[in-house]
């Protein structure tokens, strides 16, 4: 690349209802795990930035919490706001849907796109799991009538199918601007934040459907001593029963969560990690504005 080559740079929102594969797509676009994923809806709670710089192009991707209908507590309302305010600010939006499904929650997202000033690309995700492939084309034709999409692309965020085509469709629409971040920067989130997220991912994945969404992770201590990262983390739940599930029979469950999280944090930091976890109960923390603030739920 020579100094005279123009540079293109912009913000790209990844939006959609819960569980359609937004975070999986972010990780695939970056070739690195930045955002946590799980089988359960409402895994992502905060805006997560992932920066992808290739030659002249820099996309600043913003993964968002899934937009959902039920806003039962302050945390849910925060999540919807985080997604909606992102849509208003970006240069390109990728709206993600799941295979051949189109439901009320997808409609809700489309409504929130109405005020967007950016072009909107529709990505039909998880096509690797569509059994009746011949239904895809008519489905695309139906979706084409729902909005004036800039592009429609069937993709698989999991196996990478058409992800490069999506990247090309995005690059084409980035404004001509100097790059905002250094080319080796991949996120604007701290290691401390990412460590808390990785612990929460293991909780979401391992505790299956028994564990409700009212679980949060707070890092109490994060320090490097003699080339070892020492982390103390608190796991907040709302009821004693939830604490029991996380700890498991003779502490086996929490041990396994800790082991899995430690391995991922070691990969992320490229350091040896000592991780200590505690579970604490505080009723209705997810509806407590003060508590949410201290856990980083702030705009
Ligand atoms: N088969 C298949 N599964 C996928 C694909 N993309 C995502 N998934 C799976 O779908 C589930 C949800 O993925 P996430 O990336 O966490 O979805 P999300 O949209 O970020 O969800 P929220 O953060 O909860 O809104 C996970 O189990 C993923 O492995 C895909 O292209 N194919
Ligand atoms: Mg997500």
Token pair, residue 146, equals 């729902």
Token pair, residue 137, equals 């084309």
Task: Look up tokens 């529709």; give the residue.
Answer: 122
Query: Which residues does residue 15 pair with via DSSP β-bridges, in sequence order?
Result: 95
CA distance 151 to 162: 13
DSSP state of 220: E
Structural domains in the chain, CATH included, are 8-171 (3.40.50.300), 191-294 (3.30.300.20)
**Ligand 1 atom nearest residue 36's Cα:** 16
**Ligand 1 atom nearest residue 159's Cα:** 31
Looking at residue 114, what is its pLDDT?
85
Report the chain's C-alpha Rg in angstroms: 20
* DSSP H helices in the chain: 22-30, 74-89, 104-113, 136-144, 163-171, 191-206, 240-247, 252-269, 289-294
CA distance 3 to 281: 56
Token pair, residue 174, equals 């980035």
Residue bearing the CA closest to ligand 1, atom 10: 21
Which are the contacts of 36, defined by CB distance < 8 A and separation ≥ 6? 23, 43, 44, 197, 198, 200, 201, 204
Q: How remote is the CA of residue 207 from the centroid of ligand 1, in Å?
A: 17
Say if residue 148 is exposed, middle or buried (CB neighbours under 10 Å; 0-12, 13-18, 19+): exposed
154 lines ligand 1 (CB under 6 A): no
CA distance 172 to 6: 13
Q: How remote is the CA of residue 38 from the centroid of ligand 1, in Å?
A: 7
Ligand 1 pocket mutation pick from 130, 157, 163, 201 by most atoms within 8 angstroms of CB: 157
pLDDT digits (tens, 9 = 90+) for 221-240: 999 999 999 999 999 999 99
pLDDT digits (tens, 9 = 90+) for 241-280: 999 999 999 999 999 999 999 999 999 999 999 999 999 9
24 lines ligand 1 (CB under 6 A): yes
125 lines ligand 1 (CB under 6 A): yes
Using pLDDT thresholds of 50, 70 and 90, give the confidence band for residue 2.
Answer: low
**Ligand 1 atom nearest residue 41's Cα:** 24
CA distance 294 to 124: 37
Using pLDDT thresholds of 50, 70 and 90, give the confidence band for residue 71.
Answer: confident
Looking at residue 173, what is its pLDDT?
98
Q: How remote is the CA of residue 224 from the centroid of ligand 1, in Å?
A: 33
Rounded to an integer, the average pLDDT of 164-186 is 97
CA distance 50 to 58: 10
What's the predicted TM-score (pTM) here? 0.95
**Helix 22-30 × helix 163-171 angle, to 10°:** 80
Rounded to an integer, the average pLDDT of 277-287 is 93
CA distance 278 to 19: 28
pLDDT > 70 fraction of the chain, expressed in percent and rounded: 98
């Amino acid at each position: 690349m020579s100094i005279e080559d123009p540079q293109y740079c912009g913000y790209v929102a990844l939006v959609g209802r819960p569980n359609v594969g937004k975070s999986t797509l972010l990780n695939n676009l970056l070739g690195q795990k930045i955002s946590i994923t799980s089988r359960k809806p409402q895994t992502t709670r905060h805006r997560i930035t992932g920066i992808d710089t290739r030659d002249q192009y820099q996309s600043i991707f913003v993964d968002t919490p899934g937009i959902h209908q039920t806003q039962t507590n302050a945390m849910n309302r925060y999540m919807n706001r985080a997604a909606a305010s992102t849509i208003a600010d970006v240069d390109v939006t990728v709206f993600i849907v799941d295979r051949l499904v189109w439901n009320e929650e997808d409609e809700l997202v489309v409504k929130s796109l109405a005020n967007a000033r950016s072009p909107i690309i529709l990505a039909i995700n998880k096509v690797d799991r569509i059994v009746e492939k011949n239904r895809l084309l008519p489905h695309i034709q139906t979706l084409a009538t729902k909005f004036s999409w800039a592009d429609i692309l069937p993709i698989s965020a999991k196996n990478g199918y058409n992800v490069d085509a999506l990247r090309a469709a995005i690059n084409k629409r980035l404004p001509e601007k100097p790059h905002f971040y250094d080319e080796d920067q991949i996120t604007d989130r701290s290691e401390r934040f990412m460590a808390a997220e990785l612990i929460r991912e293991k909780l979401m994945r391992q505790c299956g459907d028994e564990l409700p969404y009212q679980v949060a992770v707070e890092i109490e201590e994060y320090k490097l001593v003699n080339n070892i990262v020492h982390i103390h983390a608190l796991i907040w739940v709302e009821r004693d029963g939830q604490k029991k599930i996380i700890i498991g029979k003779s502490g086996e469950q929490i041990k396994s969560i800790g082991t899995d999280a430690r391995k991922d944090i070691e990969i992320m930091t490229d350091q040896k990690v000592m991780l200590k976890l505690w579970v604490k109960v505080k009723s209705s923390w997810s509806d407590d504005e003060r508590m949410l603030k201290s856990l980083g739920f702030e705009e």
